[in-house]
Amino acid sequence: MQKAMNISYEIGNKLYLNITNKCPCSCTFCIRNNGDGAYGSDPLWLEHQPNEEEVIANLKTRDLDSYEEIIFCGYGEPTCELDILLAAARYIRSVSKTPIRLNTNGLGDLINKRDIAHDFSGLVDTISISLNAPTAEEYNAVTRPSFKDVNCFEEMLSFAKSVQKEVPNVMLTVVDIIGEDEIKRSQAVADKAGIHLRVRPYED
């Protein structure tokens, strides 16, 4: 495993923020299983957990207005470091009008032991939540969350419904490798929740 302090990395005209390697899930399709970086990036395994000051210092080295979008998404679940996530989003908002997106597993309420949806109001433009599967049983098999004795599937959907009241754009996502039947059933789950479903391509 190769480590570095790549807190931010570029893919196309978008800037991605890799603020933590912590994650309560071990998804079967996670790109962390395939290597040290994503989509040709430098290593995203961090040498240490960066603090708020390190993340903002890194942001100051970037021309934030030059990007199409700034996305919290790296080799970990961003809400595991919620205070850093929010501080970084506030800094971006203070210096740039570039849209901000959060990619999340949707388990931030469980991670932080409180309702976090309102924290994103006025800070984040888009939240993309990993639905992963159409039922709780299938979700657990694919996502393999560390939380026990709790319905993580329903917790994720509850967060999605709550944050939809706080953030302009909210979507649920599945990867295309789950199969057509699972995608159709996932679409039904999203439709029932009143949330857009995005089928995203799996990248090796």
pLDDT tens-digit map of 127-183: 999 998 999 999 999 999 999 899 999 999 999 999 999 999 999 998 876 678 889
Residue 71 pLDDT > 50, yes or no?
yes
Instruction: Say how many residues make up the chain.
Output: 204
Strand ranges for the chain from DSSP E: 3-4, 8-11, 14-17, 45-46, 69-72, 100-104, 126-130, 169-175, 196-200
> Given this model, what pLDDT does residue 33 score?
59
- Contact call for residues 59 and 85 (beta carbons, < 8 A): no
CA angle 188, 146, 181 (to 5 degrees): 25
Residue 202 pLDDT > 70, yes or no?
no
Q: Point out which residues pair with 170 in neighbouring strands.
A: 127
> Given this model, what pLDDT does residue 203 score?
58
